[in-house]
Amino acid sequence: MKLTPLERSWALYDVGNSAFVLMVSTIMPIYFKNLTSAAGVADYNSTAWWSYAVAISTLLAALLGPTLGNLADKRGWKRGLYALFVVGGAITCALLGFSPTWLIFLAVFVVAKVFFSTSLVFYDSMLPDVTTAERVDMVSSTGYAWGYLGSCIPFVACLVLVLTAEQTGIGTMRAIILAFLITAVWWAVLSVPLYGRYRQTHRNTGELAGMRELGQVVREIIQHKKIRLYLLAYFFYIDGVFTIIEMATSYGKDVGIGDTDLVLALLLTQVVAFPFAILFGRLAGKFATESLLQICIAGYFFIAVFALQLDKAWEFWFLAVCVAVFQGAIQALSRSYFARIIPAEKSGAYFGFYDIFGKGASFFGAVVLGVATQIFSTSRAGVVALALLFPLGLWLLRKSMKIPVKM
């Protein structure tokens, strides 16, 4: 199905912000590892510090999400708040290249990640305004699909700059600075079409305001068993998904995979993820979204189990392709399914809590991985705990499937 101009503009922001996501998954942790190595920090401790930074950023974003989402619903401020957090994220992304020490780099990264994550609350909650219930799976999947493919453009440019830095005379540090600047500009520029076209059509006209309104949303979530169980299921299965995405390169370095293999394998992930995200979006028109989510969760469980014995470059490449098959699908279908079962006029507040469960899961997963890694002095210990969360999420999802949508 052909996208409308508004749907295309919405999907285009996925292309923009995915460049930052790809940097977080590849160049940033490698660069951070090199900074900590030069400072004499042990590999397993630097992995733990990176985990804690991810955890802190996700916790802060989770605290901001519901309040600002509810404010956007009541005041019609989704467009303005979206722009504010995109600009803040792009600026701090650019500043990452100027961080002189690993600790300052980590602090700037936390701020950039908070801006990025909070911008997604408004972006995701725009979905009911952008498209119809019949097209929501397709539009959500298209956003992720083009995000994966489109983000390769600035990433390849950044990668060429870094890998040829010495030959061209630019120097590694200057190449890193340019890489962060390119990513920031790409992110900001591709956010403009959505800002220009979007108009908020669903608003919460209820009489309650502020914390009382948020309290009402919490009560609604608790009272509606389907939404409650789905959010719990989402918390557990997305825990492993986000942690695998954010910690893949750090884990790969710990088990001896070289920087070039890490970066190129994850670049392959972006390319392979494109057709599979589109495929799952189309399959959602023929099969129940819940059934497709179950397939994705099972796939991720086996990915985590396979990662336990990973110690060769070809195994990391194979794992990257497996992740690509399910990565876009599980996120896109989770987002569109949630948009379908909540009231559209309160989508900002509801997606704020959706973000809490997602970011809370990422916080929990990063802390579990970090603590287990330091206790046992190996990253594999954390992977064991993460693998067990997928069956729990699957069980809760199956329970929620038995309850009809009733708002």
DSSP assignment of 108-120? HHHHHHHHHHHHH
Burial of 2 (0-12, 13-18, 19+ CB in 10 A): exposed
Torsion angle of alpha carbons 169, 175, 177, 182, nearest 10°?
120
Which sign does the torsion angle of CA 357, 358, 363, 364 carry? Answer: positive
Q: What is the CATH number of domain 5-197+210-401?
A: 1.20.1250.20
The pLDDT, as a whole number, for residue 207 is 47
The token pair at 217 is 């949303």
**275 CB-contact burial (10 Å; exposed 0-12 / middle 13-18 / buried 19+):** middle
331 and 144 Cβ atoms separated by less than 8 Å? yes
Contact 68, 121 (CB under 8 A): yes
Structure tokens at 100: 């002189």
Q: Is the pLDDT of residue 183 over 90?
A: yes
Q: What pLDDT band is residue 129 in, cutting at 50, 70 and 90?
A: confident
- Residue 332: the pLDDT is 83
- CA distances from residue 386 to 2, 235, 247, 324 in whole angstroms, order as listed: 39, 12, 12, 18
Q: Which amino acid is at 49?
A: W
Q: How far apart are the first and last CA of the chain?
A: 29
Angle at 13 between CA 283 and CA 73, to 5 degrees: 95
Is residue 369 a contact partner of residue 242, using CB atoms and an 8 Å limit?
no
Residue showing tokens 């392959």: 268
> At residue 342, does pLDDT exceed 50?
yes
CB 139 within 8 A of CB 130: yes
pLDDT for residue 253: 63
Helix (H, G, I), strand (E, B) or coil at 4: coil
Q: Which helix (H) or strand (E) holds 291?
A: helix 289-307
Contact status, residue 154 vs residue 94, Cβ threshold 8 Å? no
Nearest Cα residue to 147 out of 296, 240, 22: 22
Binned at pLDDT 50, 70 and 90, residue 115 comes out as: very high
Distance (Å, rounded) from C-alpha 65 to C-alpha 355? 7
Determine the pLDDT at residue 209.
46
Who has greater pLDDT, 114 or 366? 114
pLDDT of residue 33: 80
Average pLDDT, the chain: 81
Cα→Cα distances 284→15, 135, 264, Å: 22, 10, 30
- Predicted pLDDT at 252: 66
The closest of 113, 127, 143, 157 to 245, measured between CA atoms, is 113
The tokens 């956010």 sit on which residue? 191
SS3 category, 135: coil
Name the residue among 320, 324, 234 with its Cα closest to residue 278: 324
Q: What percent of the chain has a predicted confidence (pLDDT) above 70?
A: 87
pLDDT tier at 348 (50, 70, 90 boundaries)? low
Predicted confidence (pLDDT) per residue in 64-107, tens digit: 877 787 777 767 788 889 999 999 999 999 999 888 888 999 99
Q: For residues 307 and 77, what is the distance between their CA atoms, to the nearest angstrom?
A: 43
Residue 297 and residue 330 in contact, taking contact as beta carbons nearer than 8 Å: yes
Nearest to 66 by CA among 240, 231, 237: 231
Those residues with Cβ within 8 angstroms of residue 87's Cβ, 6 or more apart along the chain or in another chain:
188
Q: Which residues contact 215 (CB under 8 A, 6 or more apart)?
A: none
